[in-house]
Amino acid sequence: MSRGARWARSSGWWLLAERPDTHRDEHDLARERRTGGTFLPDERRLKAGELPESLGRRYLLEFDTDELLQQRFDVLVVGSGIAGLMAALSVGPECKVGLVTKARLTETGTWYAQGGIAGAVGEADSVELHLADTLVAGQGLCDERVVRAVVGEAAAALADLEALGVRFDLAENGGVSLAREGGHSLPRVLHTGDATGAAIQGALSSAIRSADHVDLFEDHFLADLLTAGERCVGALVLDGTTRRPAVFWADSVVLATGGCGQVYRVTTNPRIATGDGLAAAWRAGAEISDVEFVQFHPTALDHADHPRSLITEALRGEGAYLLDCSGERFMAGVHPLAELAPRDVVCREIEGVMVRCQQPHVWLDARHLGEAHLRKRFPTIWERCKEAGYDLSAELVPVAPAAHYMVGGVKVDLVGRTSLPGLYAAGEVTASGLHGANRLASNSLLEGVVFSRRIARALHDGVPAERAARIVSGPVEQTAAFTIGAARSTLQQAMTGFAGMIRSEGGLSEAAAVLAGLSRLLDVSLRRTEELEVQNMITVAALITHAARVRAETRGAHSRVDFPERDDANWAGHLVWQRGTTPRFVPVPVSHARVPGGGDQ
């Protein structure tokens, strides 16, 4: 029986089994045999149109490594959030590590994390319960081996953080204090007030500054990953002050560049979150996966700021409610966990209420929790609301969903290896298989620590790269002229308007048209980091939009009004692709696909 026919039996993929393979050439078929996936039939992928040609470009800049300043490291880490810092610290003093970060050491997504970090350490909790909650939130697309590894290593990962100086809040009985967040069946989230990320970032940053084996390069921008043959051999890095490029050769590169929320106008993500690492990995030819799944957070404060201030789910975990324009609670009755249902469920319900009420927000009611408790447990949120003119203990606060977390990214295996030899990745930039179609709250900080520890162990068994003699990237043809600020805001508007929380083919094709126009910017040779960021944002936005057009169903963080149901018969799998190919569909085992989703409960 052919592989195609076997899938047809197990996953209901009848269409594929009956089709001749005319749309796939020998190269595609060879890769399918190697990777265990299949390229999508024409009628599915063509609906999504073609990616702009410029996304085929290999390097952003013109350069000749022989003419540039050169440095050499055993390990080059890109990014200084929880994933990058833990990787740099975990590889140990026997390695010479270069750590590159595009802004200040502490300006990261990690810094802004409020709620905390999940771990089954409570007496009533267990690894099995944490696993089960993660699988339900992931709506059939989690890789159970990965989930088991991550939740199973949580206690060790948390101990590592504590050993590095992170202090979590304690309960009155002296044990660690655990909060409850969306999708968790019991309190499981360790926290430091409502500024857990800042506490973690502060402790790890101090440790890095005193680590002798790490050379720190703040204000240095990853322009591109360098490859020789089929291997990543280092990075082209731009000094933000002098604007001069330099070559950082390395035996191994660890990509830890975080998310890409800045491609949306309404987002909780800081300005650094422009998807540079994902775009660079794409250009270098690494496989990416699941990029259609962009998680929106249900409760960002609805005010004009960019980024929006987040109001952590832990506040709902302590008893705050969501109210509609009539002052009625609307989540009770929709899901057994009510306001603490998985994020996709709460977001979709909020969207429905906003349409029904013709208002750009719903209301968060925390008045009954009392001023003293709110100020003590949620000091950051108290201050943010106050700055925006709201008294959390006396008034309803307007909240609305905002782009929050990139579920997909660079595809990695269980030890953080990408498909490109020499390149590892950890944290939000990855698609590890942990989150499936929808991240369970507070699993991402945990993922960053666990994968960085695993990468560090794997690196010790790695093979040193042969030194590439010289890499040259030719001149870029100048075919367009743009105002960078206008390009950035046009892109953000288009993504929020047409490729945001609720999607349709009509809207997505509008977004694709705007992006196709903007993609001519990729043909312009630019040097300033703001300009390179916009080029990366165009690449990432085009990838999200394309994948969202291909996936004709609603699942987890991907909602299509024109395909409102989860469709396990046709879409229980991942879209995996790389530069120069169209998305490949990799089905998940049938047992995984049957896991009920949060929306089904």
Ligand X SMILES: Cc1cc2nc3c(=O)[nH]c(=O)nc-3n(C[C@H](O)[C@H](O)[C@H](O)COP(=O)(O)OP(=O)(O)OC[C@H]3O[C@@H](n4cnc5c(N)ncnc54)[C@H](O)[C@@H]3O)c2cc1C
List residues near ligand X by CB under 6 A: 78-84, 100-103, 107-110, 112-117, 196-197, 221-222, 256-259, 268-269, 272, 276-277, 310, 405, 427-429, 442-445, 448
Q: How far is the CB of 255 from ligand X (least distance, A)?
A: 9
What whole-number distance in Å separates Cα of residue 243 and Cα of residue 489?
Answer: 24
Please say which residue, 405 or 577, places its beta carbon nearer to ligand X.
405
Please say which residue, 285 or 587, places its beta carbon nearer to ligand X.
285
Residue 187: is the preceding peptide bond cis (ω within 30°)? Answer: no
Please say which residue, 272 or 491, places its beta carbon nearer to ligand X.
272
Please say which residue, 197 or 583, places its beta carbon nearer to ligand X.
197
Q: How far is the CB of 429 from ligand X (least distance, A)?
A: 6
Q: How far is the CB of 116 from ligand X (least distance, A)?
A: 5
State the DSSP H helix or E strand holding residue 34, giving kind and residue range, or none if neither: helix 26-35
Point out the residue whose Cβ comes nearest to ligand X.
81
Q: Which residues are catalytic?
A: 343
Please say which residue, 108 or 519, places its beta carbon nearer to ligand X.
108
Strands in 584-587's sheet, in edge-to-edge order, are 38-39, 584-587, 573-577, 288-289, 409-411, 430-431
Q: Are 294 and 302 in contact (CB under 8 A)?
A: no
Strands 397-406 and 362-365: antiparallel
Q: How far is the CB of 333 from ligand X (least distance, A)?
A: 27
Nearest to 316 by CA among 293, 295, 294, 345: 345
Q: Is the dihedral of CA 208, 210, 215, 221 positive or negative?
A: positive
Q: How far is the CB of 105 from ligand X (least distance, A)?
A: 7
Strands 97-100 and 69-78: parallel
- The residue count of the chain comes to 601
Per residue, the 3-state secondary structure of 304-363, as one string, reads: CCCCCCECCHHHHHCCCEEECCCCCECCECCECCHHHCCHHHHHHHHHHHHHHHCCCCEE
Q: How far is the CB of 189 from ligand X (least distance, A)?
A: 7
Q: How far is the CB of 318 from ligand X (least distance, A)?
A: 14
Please say which residue, 311 or 588, places its beta carbon nearer to ligand X.
311
**Which DSSP symbol is given to 407?**
-
C-alpha pair distances (Å), 265 with each of 103, 352, 402: 21, 21, 9
Nearest to 545 by CA among 497, 587, 578: 497
Strands 63-64 and 178-179: unpaired
Please say which residue, 427 or 599, places its beta carbon nearer to ligand X.
427
Please say which residue, 97 or 550, places its beta carbon nearer to ligand X.
97
Q: 3-state class of 389 per DSSP?
A: coil
Q: How far is the CB of 382 from ligand X (least distance, A)?
A: 16
Q: 3-state class of 9 per DSSP?
A: helix
Q: How far is the CB of 278 from ligand X (least distance, A)?
A: 9
Q: How many CB atoms lie within 10 A of CB 167?
A: 11
Nearest to 279 by CA among 432, 78, 454, 450: 78
Please say which residue, 269 or 289, places its beta carbon nearer to ligand X.
269
| Residue 341 in tokens | 């249902």
State the DSSP H helix or E strand holding residue 227, giving kind and residue range, or none if neither: strand 220-228
C-alpha pair distances (Å), 329 with each of 322, 344, 536: 6, 18, 41
Please say which residue, 364 or 572, places its beta carbon nearer to ligand X.
364
Q: What does residue 206 show for φ and ψ, rounded to 5 degrees?
A: -60, -45
E strand spans, 79-203: 97-100, 117-118, 178-179, 189-190
- CA 248 vs. chain centroid, Å, equals 25
Q: How far is the CB of 138 from ligand X (least distance, A)?
A: 15
